[in-house]
A and B are shown apart, each in its own frame.
Chain A
Amino acid sequence: MNLAARGFTLAGKALTRLARLLPDGRPDPLAHRRAELGRPTDRLDGRAKATGAVRYTAERQLPGLAYAVVVGSTIARGRVTAVHVPPAPGVLLVMTHENAPAMKRTPAYATMKGPLGAAAMSLPVLNTDEIFWYGQPIAVVVAESLEQARYAASLIHADYEPWPARLSMADGKPYTPAHAVLEEPVTRRGDVRTALGAATATVEAEYTTPLEHHNAMEPHATVAHWEGDRLTVHDTAQYPYGVKEMLAKKFSLAEENVRVLAPFIGGGFGGKTPAWPHVWLTVAAAKLSGRPVKLVLSRADVFAMTGGRAPTSSRVALGADATGRLTALEHHALAPCTTDEFAEAAVAASRHLYTCPNVHVAQQVVRLDRIQNAFFRGPGVAPGSFALESAMDELAWRLGLDPLELRLRNEPERDPMSGIRFTSRHLREAYALGAEAFGWSRRPPAPRATRDGRWLIGHGMAAAINPDAVLIAGVQLRLAADGTVTIRSSTNELGAGTSTAQSQATADRLGLPLDRIRFEQGDSDVARTRIPGASAATTTLASAIWSARDNLVRELLKLVRDTGSPLAGRSFEEVDTRAGGLFGPSGGQSYERILARAGVEAVEVTGKSALPYQTVKRGTYSYGAHFCEVRVDEETGEARVTRWVGAFDGGRIVNPKQATSQMRGGIIMGIGMALTEETLLDERTGLIVNRSLADYHLPTHADVPAIDIHFVDQPDPQTPLGAKGIGELGIVGVAAAIANAVYHATGERVRSLPITPDKLM
């Protein structure tokens, strides 16, 4: 372990010790209230989206708008020695490293060297002739029309001085990174090797997952517009505030002079958490050309110029005694990283899912000449749990134990790594719900037991876990004289239903019907908000709105202080927001009335999320259990998923309809991960060969079975709304459940994803 890793680990240990002194999360009275919350409300923006009324970034039009196209490098490492720019019609600017304005280097996200989730990488793209990955922008063409920009870009070619590039995991020397996505890279307790020697049953195997790309429906897009030294950027950012901060630094601007607008995102999945270089290059191109500039990445550019989920390889060793209790758990994972050290930390699930006395969990990385990795729905846990949950299944077969029973026997009472308590953990209930709905107990005990014509049928299950983060957000709340409330937030609508969920939360927080609430979003100027992802929007925003509500109450009490209102002179603690107004022990008044009496148009307050001490003090995770049926044509190797039941502990479910969609979406993505998705990066050159939706196989409708979703729906006593993050949870464990079902169907164990026909025939 190097110095940085040791430092990070020590700091983490110290923090855990100190955490005991921290306060618990404040119990939220809304956790048990059910008016709008808990209702399967249709998404409020559904109609606007379906009818095309919502404007996405790529649809922004501005007077004088010019269009940009990026040209990528065709080598992975080296120097550009010349960029040849043949003349082409309509071209306003060709920006290369020779004429690009200086852009300050800013730290890469997730490296802990700067704010989480701002710039994707620290590399000085287009401020240097150096090439760091295949597809790195070497020129940006700005033209009067998109067609002209594309044509001009197609003519540009470069001369290079190529250097040897490290592109395969075998090209580098594995080492221990400073941290594994904010967790210590190595945890060791007891003596795994001795325990393995003494175990009744053991499994030791290697599991691999490939490079994958998010493939959000909406490609990345940026529209940049300068007015003097004021900069406005429309962007597909998951994290508008982070982009604002980053751009201010890069272009040496005061933060208040940069505004980033991103109200609606057509899916992000982590791929839009950081700003990739095209974002700041668009800003630079707008500056240099003196025109507002729009850049929309092509699908192929999305593959080359934004990062994906890094491939992983995991060696897992498990040992258990005769009763099925784990005695040894070893998980050594390897993933590539770049100059900016951010690895796919595949060991997270192995830290927190099962109780075991002897543990050795270690994340290592290999530095390669590739584009920086991205967060991707369930970063680390999704690929890592494929390894762990496959190995658990293998262990169950060795022990002759039902894989569900094996998991139940190793369910921890406290966090297995730190010994701290959980805020809540209802994985047992999720297992029970899912198993019952699936009919798990009727599963034939032996592999290869069921056949339907050419199809062998198997059942598989796996557990899901995802860290539950509550982050930092601010909101503005405006109560108008007509009793309507507008919430403004820097966070945006990724498509998950954030605006609907927060409208529901606001309605109940203030005791108003849903149709009185408006939710405006995605404006970086509203407040410092750090929600780059992490399934944290629901609870973090709810916390900020809660605080705004408290501030509103204080303001309203000031308004009624010297009136004849039954609220006059009441203290904050004595009053409550409900039934359309403010109420105290001797009665209350509607919001309209309070404002009318005071003769004010509106009351405006802000709110800030509470510091989430509980997530440091205690283990905070959401959980789930997947059960599935898979059919395998043994002759052709085709595997098709035919039935799915998922049961989840996501705390209190804010909107069951939206939550169900989230889980379904995660499971569908997991089906792709299990069976079809793989980015083919040619390790000879760095070229991504299948950079289109025809060639990169996402699941189609025909690949997706009926998916039955259940929730434990128990409030977490320490989180805002009693909710826990569920945006990423659905994908975790899916690939293992499928691989386990494939084994049950065929007796074949596939340990490398995706499980394509050639691996099964």
Chain B
Amino acid sequence: MNPFSYVPATDTSSAVALAAGGAKYLAGGTNLVDLMRQGIETPRELVDITRLPLADIEEQPGGGLRIGALVRNTRVATDERIRDRYPVLAQAILNGASPQLRNRATVGGNLMQRTRCGYFYDRHSACGKRDPGAGCAALDGFNRTHAILGTSESCVSVHPSDMCVALAALDAVVNIAGRDPVPLVDFHRLPGDTPHVETMLAPGELVTSIDLPPAQPGRSVYLKVRDRASYAFALVSVAAVVRMEAGRATRVRIALGGVAAKPWRAYEAEELLTGTSLDDELIHQAAGQALAGSRQRAHNAHNAFKAELARRLIRRALQGVRS
């Protein structure tokens, strides 16, 4: 770990001012401190934001909820309003990490957490995220848990969050200090030639909260497949939110986790299904559609199974929520 200075911030504007000189925000620290220990993150200065008044879940005019960036993951998952109105979000969070980590982790930190790629975590391996232009050791290495959608030759890592997958399906919006809100689905970036640019946040910018639009009547589900029963990142996960009216789906949201550098919305599949009765054949077709762009390398594709797994999970999720 590099030597660093530590400054607690008491209000949002001073936090942003403090961070202007290249500091990092410290929230729950469950990801940042790990990365500092490994020498992957080497901030000179940490601005502790845990005392900022951004730790509440508030009703919004019009029926939505605003979740402060510093609300702990456990609190989100156990909040009555979230559980009643956005159960998919509670489910997604409870499917992630461990109780201890969820007690500590914040919403902002969860959004901003970095990939778990083993080569990213090793200073001596080639990684374009750490070292722009350095290439990607995972391409021909262990990439069983890596991305199949939106990848590039410079990076195949995934965004590991469960929470964000549900947020993507809920059309959540990210509020940023001093700037227009950004839809969550646009918040994270695909790697392209710049895998080190992971979100649209500029250095020093602060996420203040996440807005959930008014809940729609309907059903939702979060399904996650992982290598052990608990305390493992998703191999693939799916959040599905469906509103049925008179036997027809008037609104369909499908988001995938574990497949890309961002929570992945399956827009074409949603479109295909909207207005239909979600019969098996269409669901099948939609699931295929959702993974149509999936790419595996010709050789060394330990993650090839993910496309089929995602298709199956989408089918299961939709069959579960349609009735």
Contact = CB atoms under 8 A, between A and B. Distances in A.
A141 to B, nearest CB: 14
A154 B228 contact: no
Nearest to A671: B228
Contact of A761 (B1, B232, B308): B308
Contacts of B227: 676, 697, 756-757
Contact of B116 (A636, A680, A695, A697): A695
Contacts of A687: 122, 124-125
A689 B122 contact: yes
Contacts of A452: none
A699 B118 CA distance: 20
- Nearest 9 pairs of A and B residues by beta carbon: A689-B118, A702-B229, A702-B230, A758-B305, A74-B124, A636-B225, A700-B230, A635-B312, A703-B229
18 contacts: A154-B1, A154-B2, A454-B316, A635-B316, A636-B312, A637-B309, A638-B225, A684-B140, A687-B122, A687-B125, A697-B232, A702-B231, A757-B225, A757-B235, A757-B305, A758-B235, A761-B305, A761-B308
A151 B230 CA distance: 34
The listed residue with most A CB atoms (<10 A of its CB), out of B1, B225, B227, B316, is B227
A191 interface: no
B142 A682 contact: yes
A151 B3 CA distance: 8
B141 interface: yes
B155 interface: no
A761 B122 contact: no
Contacts of B235: 757-758
A637 B309 CA distance: 9
A267 B178 CA distance: 53
Given A684-B141, A689-B142, A761 B228 contact: no
Interface of B: 1-3, 39, 116, 118-119, 122, 124-125, 137, 140-142, 144, 225-232, 235, 305, 308-309, 312-313, 316
Contacts of A756: 227
Interface in A613-659: 635-638, 640
A637 to B, nearest CB: 7
A680 B230 CA distance: 20
Contacts of B1: 147, 150-151, 154
Interface of A: 74, 147, 150-151, 154, 454, 635-638, 640, 675-676, 680, 682, 684-685, 687, 689-690, 694-695, 697, 699-703, 756-758, 761
A88 to B, nearest CB: 9
Contacts of A701: 230
Nearest to B225: A636
Contact of B231 (A154, A637, A690, A700): A700
A675 B226 CA distance: 11
Contacts of B122: 687, 689
Contacts of B141: 682, 684, 689
Interface majority SS (helix, strand, loop, mixed), chain B: loop
A761 B236 CA distance: 13
Given A635-B313, A689-B122, 12 more contacts: A151-B2, A154-B1, A689-B118, A689-B119, A694-B116, A697-B227, A700-B231, A702-B230, A757-B305, A757-B309, A758-B305, A758-B309
Contacts of A695: 116, 118
Nearest to B311: A635
A690 B244 CA distance: 44
Given A689-B122, A694-B116, A700 B309 contact: no
A761 B235 CA distance: 13
Contacts of B230: 700-703
A636 B313 contact: yes
Contacts of B308: 761
A757 B232 CA distance: 13
Interface majority SS (helix, strand, loop, mixed), chain A: loop
A761 B3 contact: no
The listed residue with most B CB atoms (<10 A of its CB), out of A676, A687, A697, is A687
B137 to A, nearest CB: 8
A230 B225 CA distance: 56
A236 B65 CA distance: 53
Nearest to B38: A300
A454 B312 CA distance: 12
A747 B183 CA distance: 46
Contacts of A636: 225, 309, 312-313
B142 A700 contact: no
The listed residue with most B CB atoms (<10 A of its CB), out of A147, A151, A636, is A636
Contact of B118 (A635, A690, A697, A702): A690
A185 B135 CA distance: 45
Contacts of B232: 697
A147 B2 CA distance: 10
Contacts of A454: 316
A34 B155 CA distance: 66
A685 B228 CA distance: 28
B309 A761 contact: yes
B197 to A, nearest CB: 24
Nearest to B124: A74
Contacts of A154: 1-2, 39
A697 B39 contact: no
Contact of A703 (B125, B228, B312): B228
Nearest to A636: B225
A168 to B, nearest CB: 13
B309 A702 contact: no
B126 to A, nearest CB: 10
Nearest to A300: B38
Contacts of A694: 116, 231
A150 B118 CA distance: 21
A701 B229 CA distance: 9
Contacts of A638: 225-226
Contacts of B39: 154
B305 to A, nearest CB: 4
Contacts of B309: 636-637, 757-758, 761
Contacts of B312: 635-636, 761
A527 to B, nearest CB: 43
A699 B230 CA distance: 9
B143 to A, nearest CB: 10
Contacts of A757: 225, 227, 235, 305, 309
A714 to B, nearest CB: 37
Contact of A758 (B118, B140, B144, B229): B144
A326 B116 CA distance: 49
A702 B228 CA distance: 8
Contacts of A685: 125
A676 B305 contact: no
A636 B141 CA distance: 24
Contacts of A684: 140-141
B228 A680 contact: no
A74 B142 CA distance: 18
B121 to A, nearest CB: 8
Contacts of B116: 694-695
Contact of A675 (B144, B228, B305): B228
Contact of B228 (A637, A682, A689, A700): A700
A636 B119 CA distance: 27
A700 B1 CA distance: 29
Contacts of A680: 118, 142
Contacts of A637: 225, 305, 309
A697 B231 CA distance: 9
A700 B100 CA distance: 14
A289 B118 CA distance: 35
Contacts of B119: 689
Contacts of B305: 637, 757-758, 761
A700 B235 CA distance: 17
Contacts of B316: 454, 635
Contacts of B225: 636-638, 757
A464 to B, nearest CB: 23
Given A690-B118, A761-B308, A699 B3 contact: no
A651 to B, nearest CB: 35
B2 A699 contact: no
